[in-house]
Amino acid sequence: MTAEAATAETSEVFQECGCKGIRTCLICERQRQVDPPWQLSPQKTHRFLYCVDTGWAVGAEGSDFAGWAFPFPGVTLIADFVTREEEAEMVRLMDRDPWKLSQSGRRKQDYGPRVNFRKQKLKVAGFQGLPSFSREVVRRMGLYPSLEGFQPVEQCNLDYSPERGSAIDPHLDDAWLWGERLVSLNLLSPTVMSMSREAPGSLRLRLAPPTGPKDSVDSEVTPTRSVLCQDVEVAIPVPRCSLLVLTGAARHQWTHAIHRRHITARRVCATFRELSAEFQPGGRQQDLGRELLQISCSFQGRPV
């Protein structure tokens, strides 16, 4: 055996996870005997809960800001987007293909172009479209006003498990290639999407609950308080079988994350992404965009 082969074999045995750099999961934390990440970076001080009925983030019960709230635009949650039968069938079909190890204890399957976001380069070769089992869910998405004209050119399936300590660190999704709406279908178990924002300045809070998203609250007469933006985390409860759409501020200003403690059973998430303006008709890369779209909607895909 060559030295190279020996190294590869050892690292394969050692590395049962896909973590690199600062990312960790339960498997490599045990092997490397390192602290779990939440001991290194403390949780946000002020917790707010997203309310689907009002579209506001409301201070967690029992906390300093209980009863106080601020508008949190850009979130659409569609409950029961798929049935339990459809969910079971989708996951059965996903499980027929191999899952690749990914960072922070996740596993993944990707249907889309190969992309180097840092260099802003992409390769179409190898992409055969979204999988056939997504044809119906993508058709259904287009029936909702907030997803009118939604044509995804990528589907990324992620598999989370409590045994691996799966999570995803706070991040913003790319905005060079991917468009305005980020759409994720949440399968097998409920979870919580945690939103945070490392921006200077504060958020103006009003008394909760406002009775509806369109109510105008006169700030001259209603009491207000403020809270440092960087100290806030907004929890969006995401039910099993629901579809979560992030746009606007929730897409571009607030990072999203799934904490390890919010994975209590196997969870599979399928995220669908559309093209940015640059790749749409009239954009600089419209020809490439058109090609991607044609391939994508053939629904003949295998994971790339």
Ligand X SMILES: O=C(O)CCC(=O)C(=O)O
What lies within 8 Å, CB to CB, of 194 at 6+ separation is 170, 233, 234, 235, 236, 256, 257, 258, 259, 262
* Residue 184 interacts with, from Fe ion, ligand X, none (CB under 5-8 Å by kind): ligand X
CA 261, 262, 266, 271 dihedral sign is negative
Task: Choose between 195 and 292: whose C-beta lies nearer to ligand X.
Answer: 195
Task: Choose between 173 and 278: whose C-beta lies nearer to ligand X.
Answer: 173
Task: Choose between 24 and 206: whose C-beta lies nearer to ligand X.
Answer: 24
* Residue 258 interacts with, from ligand X, Fe ion, none (CB under 5-8 Å by kind): ligand X
Shortest distance in whole angstroms from residue 193 CB to Fe ion: 9
User: Taking contact as CB under 5 A, which single stretch among the options 32-40, 173-181, 193-201, 262-270 is the one that binds Fe ion?
Assistant: 173-181
Task: Choose between 27 and 192: whose C-beta lies nearer to ligand X.
Answer: 192
Shortest distance in whole angstroms from residue 238 CB to ligand X: 7
In whole angstroms, give the CA distance from residue 159 to residue 271.
11
Q: Is 258 in the site for ligand X (CB under 6 A)?
A: yes
In whole angstroms, give the CA distance from residue 55 to residue 211.
10
How many residues touch ligand X under the rule CB under 6 A: the total is 9
Long-range contacts, 211-214 (Cβ 8 Å, 24+): 211/54, 212/54, 213/54, 213/55, 213/56, 213/71
When binding is defined by CB under 6 A, the residue of 196, 271, 285, 296 that contacts ligand X is 271
Q: Is 158 in the site for ligand X (CB under 6 A)?
A: yes
When binding is defined by CB under 6 A, the residue of 75, 78, 141, 168 that contacts ligand X is 168
Q: In what order do the strands lie in the sheet with 267-275?
A: 75-78, 243-246, 178-187, 267-275, 154-160, 107-111, 100-101
Radius of gyration over alpha carbons of the chain, in Å? Answer: 21
In the complex, the residues that contact Fe ion under the rule CB under 5 A are: 173
In the complex, the residues that contact ligand X under the rule CB under 6 A are: 156, 158, 168, 173, 184, 256, 258, 269, 271
